[in-house]
Amino acid sequence: VWTDGSYYSRLVSVEASRVAPRLINSGGNVAVSQILADGTGLGIEQGSKSELWRIDLQASRREPEEVRNIPWTDNRPHVSPDGRSLAFVTNRNGPTQIWVSLLDGSQPRVLVSSVPPFDRYGDRTVVDSISWSPDGKWIAVLTEPGVGHGVNDARLFLVPAAGGRLRVLVELCSQVRDSTQWAEDSQSVFVSKEDEQYKANYFRVDISNGTQTPVEVVPISPYDLTLLPSDAEQPHL
């Protein structure tokens, strides 16, 4: 059984029996694939190692510095504007939640205990991105139904960074490949909506009342900024 980002195995008798299936491993991300003749189980541990790094852009030599390891349960990290805190998605408690901690991982706390389901798609909701407002008071959370390719539906939520009620800001918009963009005054965010031909239209959304104002986008030709390492991804300005 795979659920909430972890593997669990249950042993079931092939004989007709009223004995309930029993859990043969819990905790750890281990998938038991075979029960051997001697009664032992053969399994594979699923996992990966991630690390948080930073670079001092004011230093004469811009050498990357390792901050700490990131547990395999955590993803979508986003640093607060003051550089002291980190918001991230985690399955540490089982269900998908959003936590906030200091940059070094200390003082973790649950910010969102349960991510709301995405309507008819049930409880397979995926957190697409997290982003702090420039003033550090709000965190925007973009979710998607997690149903695979061809569905770009998304929903945008707001939650106070200090803790509080999660509220819907935009009921239906489109997924983004980077975190939600904020206006410099922290009073509005920008979202896109794709039509049936997958053409994107952009809107400025007032966070106080949800009012959406169309934004005219002037296309420009792409140009190279700099070369990135082959394993680099998700650059953010």
Q: What is the pLDDT of residues 16-35, one digit of tens each?
A: 666 666 666 555 667 777 87
Overall average pLDDT of the 75-80 stretch: 91
Angle at 112 between CA 83 and CA 69, to 5 degrees: 45
Q: What pLDDT score does 122 carry?
A: 57
pLDDT in tens, 87-146: 999 988 878 899 999 999 999 999 999 888 887 655 578 898 999 999 999 999 999 887
Overall average pLDDT of the 72-95 stretch: 89
Residue 34 near residue 44 (C-beta atoms within 8 A): no
pTM above 0.75, yes or no: no
Q: In the chain, what percentage of residues exceed pLDDT 70?
A: 84
Asked whether residue 57 carries a pLDDT value surpassing 60, the answer given is: yes
Burial of 42 (0-12, 13-18, 19+ CB in 10 A): exposed
Range picked from 57-66, 129-138, 194-203 for highest mean pLDDT:
129-138
Q: What pLDDT score does 161 carry?
A: 96
Overall average pLDDT of the 64-90 stretch: 90
Q: Which of 94, 26, 114, 105 is nearest to 67 (CA)?
A: 105
Asked whether residue 177 carries a pLDDT value surpassing 60, the answer given is: yes
Q: In the chain, what percentage of residues exceed pLDDT 90?
A: 38
pLDDT in tens, 207-227: 999 999 999 888 788 878 778
Mean pLDDT of the chain: 84
